[in-house]
A and B are shown apart, each in its own frame.
Chain A
Amino acid sequence: MATIDERAMLPDGLPEKPYRPPVLAPGYTPGTVTDKISSVVLAKTPRWWYVAFGLSFCVMMLFLASVTWLFAKGVGIWGVNQPVGWGFAIVNFVWWIGIGHAGTLISAILLLLRQEWRTSINRFAEAMTLFAVACAGMFPVLHLGRPWLAYWLFPYPNTMGLWPQFRSPLIWDVFAVSTYATVSLLFWYVGLIPDLATLRDRAKNRVSQIFYGFFSMGWRGSASHWHNYEAAYLLLAGLATPLVVSVHTVVSFDFAIGIVPGWHSTIFPPYFVAGAIYDGFAMVLTLTIPLRAAFGLQDFITTRHLQNMAKVMLATGLIVVYGYGIEIFFSAYSANRYEQFMILNRITGPYHLHWILLIVCNAIVPQLLWFRKVRTNPVPLWIVCMFVNVGMWLERFVIVITSLHRDFLPSSWGMYRGTIFDWGTFIGTIGLFLTLLFLFIRFLPMISIAEMRALTPGSRGEGMETPE
């Protein structure tokens, strides 16, 4: 279906009244919404899907190869050394976790804030969250010297009489990330149930009937179902909201708890959370913009959505920039020799290029989002988002490496360079991420059908908006 010419719907004589595009193009009924979205899943697989899936699958194989080599040889195949004990693995971990924030945020917080525009993107964002968290979750294990003993990080009774060391931020990570993964999964699945039922009822062949029937658990959409369902969904949102904030806070503790100059800072939690949302939204846009075109979903994911997400990015982006500023101020104000040197070294030292690039990507380029033209125009918006994705990865690189490579004793200073295996692992996880994503958009409704129905004119769904 072609894009609606929104200009055409401008009420005459009111040019100065700021126009808000609708969250759902007019002319849709619950029925047509249902058919349109479920057709994406039930119709025949488009050829480009196979190509895209195949490509990402190959990249995923790169990941497998790197990891096999890693397990065989040890982390020595990476660039890590004395003094830089953490390298790409942790950078990637934080980056992926950050990306994994948008989904739950959109679903939970925006739900609580009754932002109905979230409806058409939350399912997709949640899925993205899950896959990002899956990618992130692997790195803490991979970067271990003896990964096969990773289960020692979980508290379970054992014959050694030993338990995890609960003062370590890494243990907090284990709890935070595993909780976040579980809750996101549940949240996503609960949201899926009514749509699975829809697909069950639409499915033609037996296999997909059983598949969707199995996972829809016999959902019937009865009033009492909806009644408890709504309550549960709202409560989950309520729980997920503090959780999503806590997760990146805990991740920031991995650094803030350490005494390393450049890590040991109280600004980290807010600054990391903001960064996570920033990056998360950037990634959502990076993926929705092409997909919405690919599946012709411009009516459901309208310019309004792009605009709003861009605005969120702008806001969180500014918080992040503030974080950068405050870091520099702290070090200057702290009268702490090590902090001061750290910042100086970060900006002028051997890694100054990384820092400058990071500022360009995260602080300067995104300022374009002040302009509506950029916010509403998919192509430039997408480019800005790519900048942010790169910038946020660089931010983590700068935090991890430049802080470690020159800490307290000049005798132990050193340098760090990622090896081909570092890159292989990193790029490989992107392949894994995309592979899962393509499977998702192929076999599950990437937009919440049930919630979209409620947005159709004449429906008495909640948070329904009567279009201008």
Chain B
Amino acid sequence: MSIHIEERPILYGLMAEFDTPEDLIRAVERVRATGFRQVEAYTPYPIEEVSHALGLHHSWMSLLVLIGGILGGTGGYLLQYWVNLYAYPMNVGGRPMHSWPAFIVPTFECTILMAALFAVFGMFALNGLPQPYHPVFNVPRFAEASRAHFFLVIKAADPRFDRQATEKLLSDLNPSEVAEVEV
């Protein structure tokens, strides 16, 4: 597998392809150790070690979902309270206006609904989806990322990025291939 290097005006970064998760993890650790920060790994299925190696620990998801749940719950209950005591009070089968036990069910459902919506759209937001166009797709081999192979990309934006040195670094990590990623 040859590395064909041509001068390109704009470069997104360099991409290394690995056959096994182990190689990828080792590679990530090495690259991080050398001080690279603008690094991204691509795997066909979630691998915790990779995230750890990339220093991804905390996620905002849970907080988003909590907020969603609280909004939904309070909103749902307040709606019923307002409707039954202010909007149009009615004597329904002799039951009290504020029949809180009856209001629990819709409240619960609203809580779940809002929380779920926050979870999904929150995930999109945090992942910057939808993003149909992305530089990495320019690399033909990248199709393997959604199959069986593992990729590492060091972005040109990284201060330590140096075309030659970085390529050298990557090729030492026993990749099956290293490729340029055009913007």
A/B touching: CB–CB < 8 A: yes
Chain A contacts to B: CB under 8 angstroms: 29-31, 34-35, 155, 161-167, 171-172, 175-176, 179, 182-183, 186-187, 189-190, 194, 197-198, 200-202, 213-214, 217-232, 235-236, 239-240, 242-243, 246, 250, 253, 450-451, 453-454, 458-462
Contact check, B102 vs A166: say whether CB atoms are below 8 A apart: yes
CB-CB under 8 A from B113, the residues of chain A are 179, 182-183
Name B119's contact: one of A175, A176, A236, A243 (CB within 8 Å): A236
Q: A31-B148, A34-B147, A228-B61 are in contact. Are A242 and B47 (CB under 8 A)?
A: no
Q: A31-B148, A166-B80, A166-B102 are in contact. Are A220 and B42 (CB under 8 A)?
A: yes
Q: A197-B146, A223-B50, A224-B40 are in contact. Are A232 and B123 (CB under 8 A)?
A: yes
CB-CB under 8 A from A166, the residues of chain B are 80, 83-84, 99, 102-103, 106
Interface residues of B in 60-98 (CB under 8 A from A): 60-62, 65, 79-80, 83-84, 87-88, 90, 92-93, 95
- Having A200-B146, A232-B120, A243-B109, one finds 18 other A-B pairs with CB under 8 Å, namely A161-B88, A163-B83, A164-B83, A166-B99, A172-B109, A183-B116, A186-B117, A187-B116, A190-B123, A218-B129, A223-B41, A226-B47, A228-B123, A229-B127, A231-B123, A235-B65, A450-B46, A460-B21
Contact check, B106 vs A220: say whether CB atoms are below 8 A apart: no
In whole Å, how far is B59's beta carbon from the nearest beta carbon of chain A? 4
CB-CB under 8 A from B138, the residues of chain A are none
In the bound complex, how far is the Cα of B127 from the Cα of A165, in angstroms? 41
CB-CB under 8 A from B126, the residues of chain A are 228
In the bound complex, how far is the Cα of B46 from the Cα of A450, in angstroms? 8
Give the tally of cross-chain contacts (CB within 8 A): 200
Q: Mark B102-134, 1 if CB is under 8 A from A, else 0.
A: 110110111011011101101110110111111
Instruction: Count how many chain B residues have C-beta atoms less than 8 Å from C-beta atoms of the other chain.
Output: 67
In the bound complex, how far is the Cα of B117 from the Cα of A189, in angstroms? 12
| Residue of A whose beta carbon sits closest to that of B40 | A222
Contact check, A218 vs B130: say whether CB atoms are below 8 A apart: yes
Q: A217-B132, A239-B115 are in contact. Are A224 and B54 (CB under 8 A)?
A: yes
